[in-house]
Structure 1
Amino acid sequence: MTPTVKICGLSTPETLDAALEAGADMVGLVRFPRSPRHVELDAGGALAARARGRVGVVALLVDPDDDELARTLEALRPDLLQLHGRESPERVAAIRARFGVPVMKAVGIADEGDVAGLHAYAAVADRLLVDAKPPRTAGALPGGNGLSFDWRLVTGLDLGKPLMLSGGLDPANVAAALRLTRIGGVDVSSGVESAPGIKDRARIAAFVEAAKGA
């Protein structure tokens, strides 16, 4: 089966179009002011409208309150909501129930204990994303750090829900990651950038080609 490919952190019409032209299946719009990939509501809404009906539109938020969720969902009208913070399984379930939008929960992985913790999220989320745990440094972002984890920890993982792999992926290693893990989807952000928050059209195209051909 051909893997699902998500290009995350898009912030301009030109790079969004590059993802569409390359054959990405999902595009991610980040609503997190500390991120260099953050989009304001007006810009995010315009990008979402540009992509709607052509690919899945994903809105990424980090530990949002209900007001922020409501504003983002109204402006972006995403197909999928990505929660990329420290949201508990209970919070994920509450968000899904209140807003009625499918939810993908991102979970940082560093060891087998983190993998075991995925089961609680699988019970309440529609999708799961396994990412590298962020570094314990001041100012570290919850994702998009260009760091990978030991992919052997999730090789053959089956939680009964669609699963995506993220963290340190780029055009050079995505095919190997897919072959090793046998996970059905990949999510990339910094691995297709020329600088933090600046997406590179050629790297987007190369990443999608490598992933789809794995």
Structure 2
Amino acid sequence: MTTAAKICGITTPDALDAAVKAGAAHVGFVFFPPSPRSITTEEAAILAARLPVDVNAVGLFVDPDDGLIDRVLEAVPLDIIQLHGKESPERVAAIKARTGRAVMKAVHIREAEDLEQVPAYEEVSDWILFDAKPPKDAKLPGGNAVAFDWTLLENQRWRRPWMLAGGLTPDNVVTAIRLTGAPCVDTSSGVEDAPGQKSPHKIQLFLEKVKSI
């Protein structure tokens, strides 16, 4: 099995070019101002223009209204809309129908019971992203460098393509893939020198580790 990878929270040409050169299948742009990785639609449009056709542009939103999604889509040719907030299955379905884009829903995991919500989102999403529940004092719904118990996904089978996120780094991604069988892994803070500052070297190392399996 070949595992794909997504580098999320891209903000600079150097980081984007490093992700593409090292073989990322997806790159993510964050449209959520509280995040240190958030960028404007204008910045994202410039970066997206550098992408080859075989790399997906993913836009991360947190409980967005229609106006925000419309403004982004007018400027940025997103392939996938990633919903990382508390969007209901009905809201996910509405966004997918309204935009005509593939939609990925993040499901936040801390314990086995958190997986019970997955079937409802599988009905309306093109992708499921499993991420760790943020710490109670966290201000962001993701990108907190927190992992969950990967054994919760061991031997699980899902009806939709899925990604594993949450605290993944070059040091632990091989273990995470072997435990979960993830077809795609997603990292953001795990390839940074500081919050919001991607390291081209760490991006390259992360993708080399993913390819080594």
Matches within 5 A, 1:50-129: 50-129=50-129
List runs of 5+ in structure 2 lacking aligned partners: none
1:4-39 CA-partner distances (Å, limit 9, x unpaired): 100000001111001111111110000000000001
AA aligned to 1:116 is: E
Who is 2:160 aligned against? 161
Unaligned runs of 5+ in 1: none
Deviation at 1:148, TM superposition (A): 0.2
Alignment-derived partner of residue 13 in structure 2: 13
How many angstroms apart in 2 are the aligned matches of 1:55 and 1:175?
22
Q: What amino acid is aligned across from residue 155 of structure 2 in structure 1?
A: G
Structure 2 residue 114 is the aligned partner of structure 1 residue 135: no
- Following TM superposition, the consecutive aligned residue runs of length 4 or more in structure 1 with deviations greater than 2 angstroms are none
C-alpha separation in 1, matches of 2:113 and 2:139: 22
Tell me which residue corresponds to 1:170.
169
Judge conservation of contact 1:157–1:183 (CA < 8 Å) in 2.
no
State the 1:81 CA deviation: 0.6
Where 2:47 maps in the other structure, the secondary structure is helix
Q: CA deviation at 1:54?
A: 4.0
CA distance in 2, matches of 1:69, 1:75: 10
Alignment-mate amino acid for residue 14 of structure 1: D
Query: Partners of 2:211 and 2:61 in 1: how far apart?
Result: 27
Residue 146 of structure 1: CA displacement? 0.2
How far, CA to CA, are the matches of 2:7 and 2:178 in structure 1? 19
Aligned equivalents of 1:128, 1:151: Cα separation in 2: 15
RMSD between aligned residues? 0.9
Matched residue pairs, number?
213
In 1, Cα distance between equivalents of 2:97 and 2:191: 34
Post-superposition offset of 1:157:
2.1
SS in 1 for 2:50: helix
Shift of 1:142: 0.6
